[in-house]
Structure 1
């Protein structure tokens, strides 16, 4: 019932269209139901009326034909158009609203959700699950109610012709509904299992499409095809089960439905023989029995659509109900400017809630200075940026900006003060210009070019087939790693954030390009606060302060020179990467050895 209530909130927005569609459906279905009564009148009351002359009969037939055909032309056909257009527009609008809300939900979900779920699973809900609701809406708002009204109208008219025959017909129809209802419950379970596995299959396919080049490089095509076959075999079992239930339903119900008119005619003939039923009434009754088959068949066929749609809606609304750990305060503050410092106060964090990645970190980052975090992989360096941007919230302790807990700021204002460049930068399959402009949609052409020049991307962009208008393919597949990283840097330079976060941001650049980009970072905005994550220590030697992380704790901090003199973890890391330079520095700082005097030390 909760699913239906949530869905009705969407349907209420299209109430007027559904009402007009319902009215159109009434005319569209009820007008043809007068035909058997017209036939009965012609057979029993007009053609066999001895009091009328042939001319009078002809005149009444022509008059009745004119009225009947005019009704069909002037009412039935236009109302069919009203029904179809209103219903289809209402259904499409609801699907549009569901997709809009699904997309909003995708944006509202935490980073944790995307770490645990495949993109293909989300895509299945957005496209296939929501599309399945169209059959549900057509069945619920059009077919079911209209067909029920038609069925009740037919049964009521049949009662006026012969009560016993009507009761027999109702009994046979009721049996059809009982069979269909019993099988629809099984169909609903089968549909649920099928949709769940379809999400799994979509996730698998999306992942393999993304990794096609990798499959070629490692020659895993055969293994991928075998894995796909296993998925398809299991998916086939689900589809076969659903199809089998649907086939049994149609076979049993349609078989009984086809026999119903024959049974009624045979019994009706007995009533004609004992003169309790006229030929005209029997013909009309047979026509209504035949008409009764249409709503019954429509209702039976609607049951799978209702079952599938119900499961699809439940999956969509369950997705809407996924809780978010990252929430804004009821009345969030706006971070209109970064003024003094960022402070981590005894911050701890664990991605799984148990194994802590960082442990009671405390440090201060002052405005306008450059800071670097270095250390072995898995030490918690990138996690610091995740916490600062509120991709995740600290398990313990607090992160403060200008002495205000970042949870008290609105997410939009907090993130608008930051710009981040990572090692694996995401680029959209649009033009170079659009990817750079993402950081500032209102940016002028001059601003875009200036940002590209600061990132040393301008020259290679001009060398592309269409310059800044070149389409770069999905995830920037047409560019090299270094080119993608420069566009990502240009994007951040365009934004001119108060806090610049660089997570291995120049790892794909050669040494000379890296040196030039580092100079740009320092020069283009002297008041900018820079926080760097790096494995290559040559990129952080200019930092005002370097923090060395080990197992989630800060074990050393200081300038490049101070840390080398201490001879701790940082010196060891630097020695591994720059052994020659460190050796020369050590030699330069040691006193020169004195030459031994000839004959010195000789025994006298």
Structure 2
């Protein structure tokens, strides 16, 4: 997509700010109209100045002061109104991108770098907002100033103006060439800084592992290598911009010197008066700033293009899990779940599930066991439509889950994952995550069921205790019990326990297991566990192998069969 198309896409965000932008442009017109007045005053003041007419000089100085005052008031209105519009556009774009990312499927986030996404959401959108601001705050006023002042110069002496403009196409060509090169280099530079940001997020989130493996030098070497790539990319951009400035400045100087020679000749030929030439020179001086700003704005326009490319790349991403048009809310369910000949693969030639079928009755606890890679987690991830199967059907209470809205489906399925994710905020906020209307009484009741209330009230701040990023100031067992409380507060009819006790010590596991048994009552539960001791009380145990159910039964039935489950069990308890 070319530059024009990208910026045309931005019009959808600019349109809601039309009123503010029009008000800003009215201020710009007043601001611009003052330039030829000031140029005229410069020529007019030359006459009484030469003749020593103090009263006339004072009068012209007063007019000049008034003109400057009107211009600066208009400039203030232009600057503040455009800043307001640009920030509103940035806010709207950032909010839409964030909302769009929320709709993307889990598979996208498994391959995307969080640091890169954060950079696009912050730095790239800020740059776009700055470009929009400068287009209306600097580019448009400078362009209008250029047109108005040039018009005044043509009025004074068109021959001199024509000679001055001979060099303009050369300057325009150079500015365009530099702008294209700067856009390309800016895209590379911004990609490098995104990679650097992603590396920082990765290292800081895994600092415990870095220190445990004494890998500080290793991560420092990776960081230095990425930082050096970023430095080189930035340096190439800055070097090109540094070359541009003296080249354009040199051409401006040649134009000015040529103007002095031609102007002097015009005065000597009586084609131009001395005061008119002073006015003409003042107008030329007024062209230096807008030409300089147009040059730098064009460069920033190109750098903004690189940011636009990166942001609109995100908006172009399409989710793989799409809510069906006309999807209806899933009514409150009893918890009957059926997988009918479901097949799924992350890669086309590597199937994870193969025509798998199973039926879970309301209130039944089903345990899924098997080797890593057998498809256990994939199976339960299909239920809330974190992924969609390539073939087969998944039904809840006889309703195909593809026919209902995602929100109504997921609100009736609770998940207690192996790795508990907590967010910066209070304990109460983490338990009530995703629920805006939960009161403290309901939060406390959920915490009691999850065996979390006792440790929470031991904190000085109780439920208002601040949880650090990822819950680092809580133990593994405490974090897991908060995750259970979160699921309890949701009050789902279907519950997924994905290795919920695998990373806990025996004391924490006992507390968590007791909480889980309380939570599982009267719910349809899918339990994934490598520790077979935690699944013995399940109503039914399914053994998965290569994406298919190879054994099914209660703990006792499977032991009596002497098959795969019996061998797993024997291996664990012999160990």
**TM-score if structure 2 supplies the norm length?**
0.95
The answer to whether the 8 A contact 1:136-1:310 is kept is no
2:139 is the counterpart of 1:144? yes
User: CA separation in 2, counterparts of 1:560 and 1:525?
Assistant: 18
CA-atom RMSD, angstroms? 1.9
CA distance in 2, matches of 1:30, 1:228: 53
Cα shift at 1:283: 1.1
* DSSP 3-state at the match of 1:443: coil
Residue of 318, 324, 328 corresponding to 2:319: 324
Query: 2:244 — aligned with what?
Result: 249
Contact 1:347–1:358, Cα closer than 8 Å, also in 2: yes
Alpha-carbon distance, 1:180 to partner: 1.1
Matched, 1:303 2:292: no
Query: Out of 9, 13, 25, which is 2:12 matched to?
Result: 9
Instruction: State the Cα deviation string for residues 518-546 of structure 1 (Å, max 9, x = none).
Output: 44444456321111111111111111111
Q: Following the alignment from structure 1 to structure 2, what is the Cα–Cα distance between the partners of residues 173 and 304?
A: 18
C-alpha distance in structure 2 between counterparts of 1:24 and 1:334, whole Å: 51
Residues 14-93 of structure 1 correspond to what in structure 2 (within 5 A)? 14-44=17-47, 58-73=54-69, 75-93=70-88
- CA contact 1:439–1:491 (8 Å) conserved in 2: no
The answer on whether the counterparts of 1:353 and 1:395 sit within 8 Å (CA) in structure 2 is no
SS in structure 2 at match of 1:358: strand
Q: For 1:394 and 1:502, how far apart are their aligned partners in 2?
A: 21
The answer to whether the 8 Å contact 1:348/1:358 transfers is yes
Instruction: Tell whether the 8 Å contact from 2:42 to 2:282 is kept in structure 1 after alignment.
Output: no
Q: 2-side partners of 1:409 and 1:378: how far apart?
A: 29
**In the alignment, which residue of structure 1 is the partner of 2:127?**
132
Q: Tell me the SS of whatever aligns to 2:522.
A: coil
The 2-side partners of 1:204 and 1:343 are apart by 42
Distance 1:525 1:472 in 2: 27
2:326 and 2:154 map into 1 onto residues whose CA distance is 66
Return the alpha-carbon distance in structure 2 between the equivalents of residues 270 and 77 of structure 1: 36
Contact 1:342 / 1:365 at 8 angstroms: preserved in 2? yes
Cα displacement (A) at 1:571: 0.6
The aligned runs of 1:306-455 (5 Å cut-off) are 306-339=301-334, 341-438=336-433, 440-455=435-450
Q: Which runs of 4+ in 1 moved over 3 A?
A: 46-49, 57-68, 508-526
For residues 27-73 of structure 1, the C-alpha deviation after alignment (integer angstroms, 9 at most, x for no partner) is 223313312212323335x6679xxxx8xx65554444434423433
Partner Cα distance (1:275, 1:502) in 2:
95
Structure 1 window deviating more from structure 2 (338-347 vs 389-398): it is 338-347
Q: Whole-Å Cα distance in 1 between the matches of residues 43 and 163 of structure 2?
A: 21
What does residue 268 of structure 2 align with? 273
SS in structure 2 opposite 1:253? Answer: helix
* Alpha carbons of structure 1 residues 567 and 442: separation in structure 2 relative to 1, 3 Å: same
In 2, distance between residues paired with 1:512 and 1:275?
103
1:14 deviation in Å? 0.5
Structure 1 residue 515, shift from structure 2 partner? 4.3
SS at match of 1:311: helix
Q: Whole-Å Cα distance in 1 between the matches of residues 401 and 145 of structure 2?
A: 62
Find the counterpart in structure 2 of residue 570 from structure 1.
565
Matched residue, 1:262: 257
Instruction: State the partner residue of 2:177.
Output: 182
What SS does structure 1 have at the residue aligned with 2:337? strand
1:307-335 CA-partner distances (Å, limit 9, x unpaired): 01112112111210101111111111211
**1:267-294 CA distance string (max 9 Å, x none):** 2112222322221122111111111111
Counterpart among 158, 173, 177 of residue 153 in structure 2 = 158
Counterpart contact for 1:439–1:494, Cα < 8 Å: no
* Corresponding residue number in structure 1 for 2:218: 223
Does the alignment pair 1:194 with 2:197?
no
Q: Distance in 2 between matches of 1:129 and 1:196?
A: 10
Instruction: Report deviation, 1:417.
Output: 0.3
Identify if the C-alpha distance between structure 1 residues 512 and 150 changes in structure 2 by more than 3 Å, giving closer, same or farther: closer
Answering whether residue 432 of structure 2 is matched by residue 463 of structure 1, we say no
The answer to whether the 8 A contact 2:23-2:81 is kept is: yes
Aligned partners of 1:173 and 1:296 also within 8 Å: no
Give distance in 1, aligned partners of 2:300 and 2:388. 43
Structure 1 residues 141, 353: CA separation in 2 closer, same or farther (over 3 Å shift)? farther
Rounded Cα–Cα distance in structure 2 between residues aligned with 1:440 and 1:69 = 61
Deviation at 1:394, TM superposition (A): 0.4
Q: Assess if the C-alpha contact under 8 Å between 1:557 and 1:563 holds in 2.
A: yes
Deviation at 1:137, TM superposition (A): 0.8
- Contact map agreement 1:485 1:508 (CA 8 A) in 2: no
Q: Deviations over 1:362-396 (max 9, x none)?
A: 00011111111011111110001110010100011
Is the partner of 2:395 in helix, strand or coil?
Answer: strand
Alignment partner of 2:521: what SS? coil
Q: Is 1:106 aligned with 2:109?
A: no
Are 2:541 and 2:552, in contact at CA under 8 Å, matched by a contact in 1? yes
TM-fit CA distance, 1:439:
5.2
Q: Structure 2 CA distance, aligned partners of 1:436 and 1:30?
A: 61
Displacement of 1:150? 1.1
Question: Equivalent residue for 1:601?
Answer: none
Bigger Cα displacement from structure 2, 104-113 vs 229-238: 229-238
Q: Secondary structure of the residue that 2:351 maps to in structure 1?
A: coil
User: 1:494/1:501 Cα in 2 relative to 1: closer, same or farther (>3 Å)?
Assistant: same
In 2: Cα distance, 1:524 partner to 1:476 partner? 23
For each residue in 1:182-201, what CA deviation from the matched residue of structure 2 results, as whole angstroms up to 9, or x when unmatched?
Answer: 11111111112212222222
The answer for unaligned runs of 5 or more in structure 1 is: 581-604
- 1:478 paired residue number: 473
SS in 2 for 1:398: strand
- How many angstroms apart in 2 are the aligned matches of 1:362 and 1:579? 33
Alpha-carbon separation, structure 1, partners of 2:112 and 2:515: 38
2: CA distance, partners of 1:151 / 1:395 = 61
Rounded Cα–Cα distance in structure 2 between residues aligned with 1:254 and 1:439 = 58
